[in-house]
């Protein structure tokens, strides 16, 4: 599979950019919040070790394989959120 280069996106207020190693602590803290994760996966906050492992997977597997775009959402340069466009199983158009 060809590597997918996740593009950066920006609005007047927010910037979406691929995660870097410097974002690890913010990613782990974000996924530990119920208000963030209640609609993700099984719902509810992730344990630190699980979210840390997920961050490693993003950098070491998902980005290099080009599986789908994943962004760190920043406001004023500070990480404030997470966004991704993950393909659904089944037929693609």
In the sheet where 9-10 sits, what is the strand order? 9-10, 14-17, 70-75, 78-84
Considering the entire predicted model, what is its pTM?
0.82
With contact defined as beta carbons under 8 Å apart, do 30 and 82 qualify?
A: yes
* Residue numbers in the chain where pLDDT is lower than 70: 1-4, 91-93
Give the H or E element holding residue 54.
helix 48-57
Alpha carbon distance 28, 50 (integer Å): 9
pLDDT of residue 93: 58
Picking from 88, 60, 73, 79, the residue whose alpha carbon sits closest to that of residue 3 is 60
pLDDT of residue 17: 93
pLDDT of residue 42: 82
pLDDT of residue 3: 46
């Amino acid at each position: 599979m060809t590597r997918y280069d996740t593009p950066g996106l920006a609005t007047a207020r927010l910037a979406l950019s691929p995660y870097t190693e410097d974002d690890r602590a913010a990613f782990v803290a974000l996924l530990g919040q119920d208000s963030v994760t209640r609609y993700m996966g099984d719902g509810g906050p992730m344990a630190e070790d699980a979210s840390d492992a997920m961050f490693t997977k993003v950098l070491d597997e998902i980005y290099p394989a080009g599986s789908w775009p994943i962004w760190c959402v920043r406001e004023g340069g500070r990480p404030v959120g997470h966004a991704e466009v993950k393909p659904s199983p089944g037929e693609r158009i």
